[in-house]
Amino acid sequence: MRDIVHNIKTVQAIAPAVLAASANGAAIDLKGVGSVAIVLNTGAIEAAGDFTAKLQESDTTASGDFADVDASHVMGELPASLAANSVVKVGYRGFKRYVRLVLTKNGGTSIAAGAVAVMGYVQDRPVA
């Protein structure tokens, strides 16, 4: 009964990398899942790198169709500025098919970061 591996689906939202510019994460398809959390982890920040994170949603995968998620549909809180060597998680409870994480560079040089979408209540189980 302690098996969570076969009951969740994970998708890379942002590949781990040293980011020197803003980055749009992958479009995460929520079809067939009942819940999703985005887990963002950071490493070193160089030269006072100042990055913020936000969630966006869309009914399509077209980049121009994504819009910021209303705060009432975000569970948890993203910090005003990402800190070095930290982990942040937020949930999405909106109604769109796709969600993505966006990291915005506001100043400084770079940040090491990556993110994973963890989805639960998956229709087709066990999840491979």
Residue 24 lies in a domain: yes
Question: What's the pLDDT score for residue 1?
Answer: 58
Residue 22 lies in a domain: yes
Question: Domain count of the chain?
Answer: 1
Question: What's the pLDDT score for residue 2?
Answer: 75
Segments of 47-125 assigned E as strands = 50-58, 67-68, 74-75, 87-92, 98-107, 110-120
What stretches in the chain show pLDDT beneath 50? none
Q: What is the CATH number of the domain that holds 61?
A: 2.60.120.1110
Residue 90 lies in a domain: yes
Residue 47 lies in a domain: yes
Q: And the tokens for 67?
A: 């819009």
Residue 128 lies in a domain: no
Residue 126 lies in a domain: no
Residue 58 lies in a domain: yes
| Among candidate residues 16, 14, 38, the one with its CA nearest the CA of residue 26 | 14
State which residues form the domain around 12: 5-120
